[in-house]
Amino acid sequence: MPRALRIAVVLATALLILSPVGLVIYQSFLSGPFFQPASTFTTQAYEFVLFEEDDFREAFVNSAVIAAGMTAIAVPLGCIVAFLLVRTDLPGRRLIEPLVLVPMFVSSVVLAFGFVVALGPVGIVSLWVKGLVGAIPWYLYSKTSLILIAGLTHVPHVFLYASSALRSLGSDVEEAARSAGAGPVRVALTVSLPMIMPSILYASVLVFFLGFELFGLPLVLGDPERIIVLATYLYKLTNKLGTPSYDLMAVVVVAIILVTLPLVYTQRRLLAAANRYVAVKGKASAQRPLALGAWRWPATGLIVAWLCVTVVVPVAALVLRSFLSTWGEGVSIWDNLTLSHFRDLMGYPNLVRGILNTLLIASVGGALSVAFYTLINLALHRWRSRWTALMDYLVLVPRAMPGLIAGLAMFWLFLFTPVLQPLRQTLFSLWLAYTLVWLAYGMRLVSASLLQIGPELEEAGRVVGARPAQVSRDVTLPLIRAGLIGSWVLVFVTFVREYSTGVYLLSPGTEVIGSLLVSLWGTGAVDLVTALSTVNLALILVGLGLMFALGNKRHA
Amino acid sequence: MPKLVIEDLHLRYGPVEVLKGIDARFEEGSVVCLLGRSGSGKTTLLRSIAGLEEPYRGAIRIDGRPVYDAGARVNLPPEKRDLGFVFQSYALWPHRTVFENVAYGLRLRREGKAEIAAKVQTALDGVGLGALAARYPSQLSGGQQQRVAIARALVYEPPVILLDEPLSNLDAKLREEARIWIRALIKRRGITAVFVTHDQSEALAIADQIVLLDGGRLVQSGTPEDLYERPETAFASEFMGSNNTLTVAVEERREGRVRVALDGHSLWGLDRRQGPAADGSAKAVIRLEAVRLAEGPGENRLPAAYETSIYLGSQFEHLFRCGDQTVRVLSDRRATPGPHWLECPPERLWVF
């Protein structure tokens, strides 16, 4: 790519990243909405939110407590699951391994609905247990439950990093411990896990950071007892004072980014450290699984129990509920099976549009996003320049923006910029917000493919007479084609799952399943919510099936 | 007029100076070897000629036309230099067939379909792969891939072809065959070739001109015979061939000759010192094959004690001890333990 084009791409990306953030910061110092000429510069909003608003303080403390609590649950459990699946002869581990990642692919509002339908005060499982023992031994809407569920659903994030680190560890260190007389538990605790400490540390910071971003789970599970966290506080703020208070929302957004940005930066540093650590002793030759002996059954039981609580029970209950005409104490499942909710769904034009829009934005939009991520990657590809370093830091900014915030900032940007105004109520605004939110993720997907190409393949193109653009077209892109298709499938699933980014951008014409679910939940339309969630799950299943098929083909 | 001229070329990676001022001229139709250890800058120099690295000072001219000239702010991109380049890893595009790999350069030059087909076929026939045009690179052996890489670099008839250690991925037997046919191919085409290698025997076999580099500087440039028989520096003499390097005391210098003492015995050698004479000890270099086993004492002979031998197949290599230094000698006879005399011909004993 010619240098001028590279710089243009970097500048355009910087504009896309920085203008929404800049607008939010600008708004946070205004006395009224940015579109009102009467607004003046002031720090009023900061003073109000930070010093006078008790709800904000409560939300902040709750977020911190929940983030810490879920980290304390997810990290040990994720490490144990990773150790069991990667390093031991656990029965059925080949079957279990792909299932462990499933919670990452299901949208967390959908999971939250599932928990309500299964384990809520009149949940399907709750009532069944009540029939057996006479009472429900848990209460779903407490802070403890919220922390527990958040922790359990974030086990896959820890698993992902811990398992890849464990895979690159030679098994000789474990065998040495075994022959010195240590049992499997001792081996895990004293040898394997300490050796992958940098990866675990990285995963811990990641989960803690995701804890601050939580939106779907506290929105659904925290609402009955008014447990608010930062994201739900922001969401509620829209209507709290009667009129949308732009200045206050902007301050909350700035506050959230001020918390998440350092966390993202720390992650970046830790990831680099973890990679260095692994590279030093990347002797992954001939791994022999550790024999668990008598531990194998309790270990399998633990993983199966986790899978049941986190995935099977909520998803099964949700799907079941979408086929039940009604539910409550004394209602029989068999007598009430129906398809009417899905028929009803088809009767609402906005819901039908939502499903079609979701498909459109995930497939066509996803492809366009991958194209955009590829363009940025090609612009930075093999370019030793300060611009590349700048871009490295710039992509941290969207990572620090939870979907809800990015959607809000994008909404304001479309209000603020005259040329963009006509596009505000089109799918373009939504696509741009999605692309921005998943920028760092998508760029990593594409760059992983680009890193596989030896530089001399491209240099060979230049030497035989191809201009940089011709090399990109004739050599680089064809070589990463399989990787790009894989990235597109992952982005497809991600966009189908996304629910928070579209919340503020929801308008006639820009409905997607995720944002519709959030707003429908507020109205209490459980039948429609469960039916729409089931459609969402089905779409994700299609995506996962596609991924699986592609993965298998690449192995063949 | 020389085909390729390099003037005072400097290049650095960050703070590290990789090329520290290289001057060289390569004649039309000659095969030039850039020879040196790893880190000597030979590959960097080759890549600079191709435009894959950017120097910060100096100039590179092909046929008198500057492709890089720091003074005139000229720096042609690789695709404008019209060169052929053979990569160490061959860098064949795995998603294209052999035919398409070779044809790409012609397509970029907008040649006609029939013409491309004919030229590619000629190029592939030239490297003996005419029948494999439809294969993908992954279906070829290492030696075949190397031939495709050469065909790809030659097919659009560049005036200069650059080869970066093209033989290093072949096994020993194939390597010896390859250097003969590559030299023959280049000579037949009459083009100028610049060839990077760290293997001195490969350089001696293939080159018309050897450019020896060390630490980013040019040590010596000349014919293979020049470098092997008339090395100008201690580094050049030790880099080429197998040598005995001895520490000697200088006794007398006269008309380009020098008398030195080794373990108390005087020997005459060629005075190869550069710069002002430093008295006292000096370094003497003599190739293994230059030392002869002698029957008794005489001119330029010294007594030595036999230590051990190794059998090399075609001959023996004997190890002798002269005082506290060891001398290795090649001979087709066995040697017996006990005292011996070694003759070091004065014109082949170089004192630096």
For the segment A278-315, what is each residue's pLDDT rounded down to a tens digit?
Answer: 544 444 455 677 778 888 889 999 999 999 999 999 99
More confident position, B298 or A501: A501
- CA–CA distances in Å: residue A412 to residues A16, A23, A26, A406, A440: 13, 8, 11, 10, 22
CB contact under 8 A, B50 and A463: yes
In chain B, which among 69-88 make CB contacts under 8 A with chain A?
77-79, 81-85, 87-88
pLDDT score of B57: 94
pLDDT score of A270: 84
Q: Compute the distance between CA of residue A49 and CA of residue A60 in angstroms, rounded to an integer.
A: 11
CB-based contact B245:B284 (threshold 8 Å):
yes
Q: Compute the distance between CA of residue B282 and CA of residue B280 in angstroms, rounded to an integer.
A: 7
DSSP per residue, B294-344: ESS--TTEEEEEEEEEEE-SSSEEEEEEETTEEEEEEESS---SSEEEEE-
Q: Compute the distance between CA of residue A252 and CA of residue A56 in angstroms, rounded to an integer.
A: 8
pLDDT score of A552: 58
H-only helix segments in A88-213: 93-100, 102-105, 108-119, 124-133, 143-153, 155-167, 172-179, 184-187, 193-195, 197-213
**What is the average pLDDT across B135-156?**
92
Q: How far is A460 from chain B (nearest CA, A)?
A: 7
CB-based contact B70:B8 (threshold 8 Å):
no
CB-based contact A411:A506 (threshold 8 Å):
no
CB contact under 8 A, A456 and B156: no
Beta strand pairing status for B160-164 and B84-86?
parallel
Q: Compute the distance between CA of residue B256 and CA of residue B175 in angstroms, rounded to an integer.
A: 41
What does the DSSP 8-state code read for residue A237?
Answer: H
Chain B touched by A465 (CB under 8 Å): yes
CB contact under 8 A, B104 and A466: yes
Burial environment of residue A291 by CB neighbours within 10 A (0 to 12, 13 to 18, 19 or more): exposed
pLDDT score of A155: 95
- CA–CA distances in Å: residue A218 to residues A67, A537, B109, B183: 12, 20, 63, 74
DSSP per residue, A446-469: HHHHHTTS-HHHHHHHHHTT--HH
Q: In this structure, what are the phi and psi dihedrals at residue B7, rounded to the nearest 5 degrees? A: -125, 120
What does the DSSP 8-state code read for residue A91?
Answer: T
**CA B64 to chain CA mean position, Å:** 25
CB-based contact B341:B271 (threshold 8 Å):
no
What does the DSSP 8-state code read for residue A134?
Answer: S
Residue A508 in tokens: 């006639």
| Residues A399, A405, A410: CA angle, nearest 5 degrees | 95
Q: Compute the distance between CA of residue A15 and CA of residue A27 in angstroms, rounded to an integer.
A: 17
pLDDT score of A361: 95
Beta strand pairing status for B74-75 and B65-69?
antiparallel
Q: One-letter amino acid identity for B38? A: S
Strand partners of residue A391: none
CB-based contact A470:A401 (threshold 8 Å):
no
* B chain contacts of residue A479, beta-carbon cutoff 8 Å: 93-95
Residues A29-32: contacts with CB under 8 Å, at least 24 apart: A30/A246, A30/A247, A30/A250, A31/A247, A32/A246, A32/A247
List, in order, residues 6 or more apart from A246 with CB less than 8 Å away: A27, A30, A32, A33, A34, A412
Query: CB neighbours (10 Å) of residue B92?
Result: 23
pLDDT score of B295: 81
Q: Per residue in B83-102, pLDDT tens?
A: 999 999 999 999 999 999 99
- Angle between the N-to-C axes of helices A3-28 and A386-394, in degrees from 0 to 180, rounded to the nearest 10: 40
Who among A460, A468, A474 is closest to B87 (CB)?
Answer: A460
Kindly give the parts of chain A with pLDDT less than 50: 279-284, 554-556
CB contact under 8 A, B156 and A464: yes
Nearest 10 degrees: Cα torsion A334, A340, A342, A343: 160
CB contact under 8 A, A464 and B94: no
Chain A touched by B104 (CB under 8 Å): yes
DSSP per residue, B37-102: -TTSSHHHHHHHHHTSS--SEEEEEETTEEEEETTTTEE--GGGS--EEE-TT----TTS-HHHHH
Order of strands, edge to edge, in the sheet holding B316-322? Answer: B292-294, B339-343, B301-311, B316-322, B325-331
- CA–CA distances in Å: residue A217 to residues A56, A155, B61: 18, 15, 68
Task: Please give the residue of chain B at the shortest CA–CA distance from A479.
Answer: B95
CB-based contact A470:A461 (threshold 8 Å):
yes
Residue A315 in tokens: 């998803």
Residue A272 in tokens: 């680099």
CB-based contact A174:A87 (threshold 8 Å):
yes
Q: What is the pTM of this model?
A: 0.85
pLDDT score of B277: 60
Q: Where in A233-321 does DSSP place strands (E)? A: none
- CA–CA distances in Å: residue A549 to residues A48, A101, A103, A487: 54, 17, 20, 14
3-class SS at A470?
helix
- CA–CA distances in Å: residue B322 to residues A29, A449, B219, B326: 89, 62, 31, 6
Q: One-letter amino acid identity for B79? A: E
CB contact under 8 A, A456 and B89: yes
CB-based contact B5:B25 (threshold 8 Å):
yes
- CA–CA distances in Å: residue A17 to residues A11, A377, A398, A409, A526: 10, 15, 7, 10, 37
Who among B87, B89, B108 is closest to A470 (CB)?
Answer: B108
3-class SS at B286?
strand
* B chain contacts of residue A386, beta-carbon cutoff 8 Å: none
What does the DSSP 8-state code read for residue B110?
Answer: T
Q: How far is A336 from chain B (nearest CA, A)?
A: 57
